[in-house]
Amino acid sequence: MTTKTSNDKQQLSRRNFIGYASAVTAIAALAACSKDDNDMPSSSSGIDLGSGDTGILNYAYALEQLEAAFYKQVTDTPFSGITAAETALLTDIRDHEIAHREFFKKALGSSAIPGLEVNFSGIQFNDRTSVLNTAKAFEDLGVSAYNGAGKLITNPDYLLIAGKIVSVEARHAAYIRDLISNGSFADNTVIDANGLDRGRSPMEVLMIASSFLKSKINASNLPTP
């Protein structure tokens, strides 16, 4: 297994991710203080995910669209120096994400949000480090998104589906992390002192995801705990 350290640029973008998360926490706190106001920019514009379990399924559908589009591009334009083993497993991951995306599309039927436009202008698809660091961010984000959304789901069948998917995302995350630095599959940047992964709220997740999306998402009708 190869070992490669992040360059400064990726570390900077990691700091940006953390910065976004902190900013979102502050925004969420503000929103909670004035939830009758309708002047939050995201509350009245963009693609409405909907409410209740449907809203959460659309939220998952949006994230799977993002992941599937990313891995499609990764396999269409492989980074230089990609190995046969990496090609095989990144193709597997692409197919898993397409399977997830299409499952949600079909399950949601007429309630499904439209296809989203992605913005991958910040990713150098010919560069191994750029691709793998983005993949790591997406997979860890996906794990935290499903973990954080579980409590918002009311139908146990949907909760089980989310559980079936999140462990596959975690398998992906560990593999990608090990490709970047062998042994980082569950390091203390993602696992806390109790040995627990993290959950992120939809607001936190969508703020991070929005930098990869041209389409605007309106999550204002999603359930809250």
Partner 1 sequence: MNLQHIITEIEKTDTEFLKKVDSRRNTIKNFNRFIGKVSLVALPFALGGLFKKANGQSTSGIIDVLNYALTLEYLEAAFYQNGNNVANTLIPTAPARQAIATIGSHETAHVNFLKTAITASGGTPVSSPSFDFTAGGTFGDVFTNYNTFLAVAQTFEDTGVRAYKGQAGALISNNDVLTAALNIHSVEARHASHIRQMRKANGFGDVKPWITGKDSGIGEVVQASYNGEEVTMQAGIEITNINNFSISSAAASEAFDEPLTMMQVLNIVKPFIK
Stretch that binds partner 1, among 4-12, 27-35, 155-163, 206-214 (CB under 8 A): 155-163
* Surface-to-core class of residue 224, CB atoms within 10 Å of its CB (0-12 exposed, 13-18 middle, 19+ buried): exposed
196 binds partner 1 per the rule CB under 8 A: yes
Contact 126, 220 (CB under 8 A): no
Helix/strand number for the chain, H first, E second: 6, 2
CB 85 to partner 1: min, Å: 9
Instruction: Give min distance, CB of 212 to partner 1, in A.
Output: 21
- Six-digit token pair at 50? 């909907």
Does 40 help bind partner 1 (rule: CB under 8 A)? no
Do residues 2 and 127 lie in contact, with contact meaning Cβ atoms separated by under 8 Å? Answer: no
User: In terms of Cα–Cα distance, which of 105, 113, 112, 177 is closest to 141?
Assistant: 177
Binding-site size, partner 1 (CB under 8 A): 54
Counting contacts by CB under 8 A, is residue 168 touching partner 1? Answer: yes
What CA–CA distance (Å, rounded) separates 129 from 97? 21
* Contact flag: residue 53 with partner 1 (CB under 8 A): no
Q: Which is nearer to partner 1, 36 or 157 (CB)?
A: 157
Question: Residues, the chain, total?
Answer: 225
Among 58, 172, 212, 213, the residue binding partner 1 under the rule CB under 8 A is: 172
Give me the residues that bind partner 1 (CB under 8 A), please. Answer: 1, 89, 92, 95-96, 98-100, 102-103, 105-107, 143, 146-148, 150-151, 153-154, 156-157, 159-161, 163-175, 178, 182-183, 185-187, 191, 193-199, 225
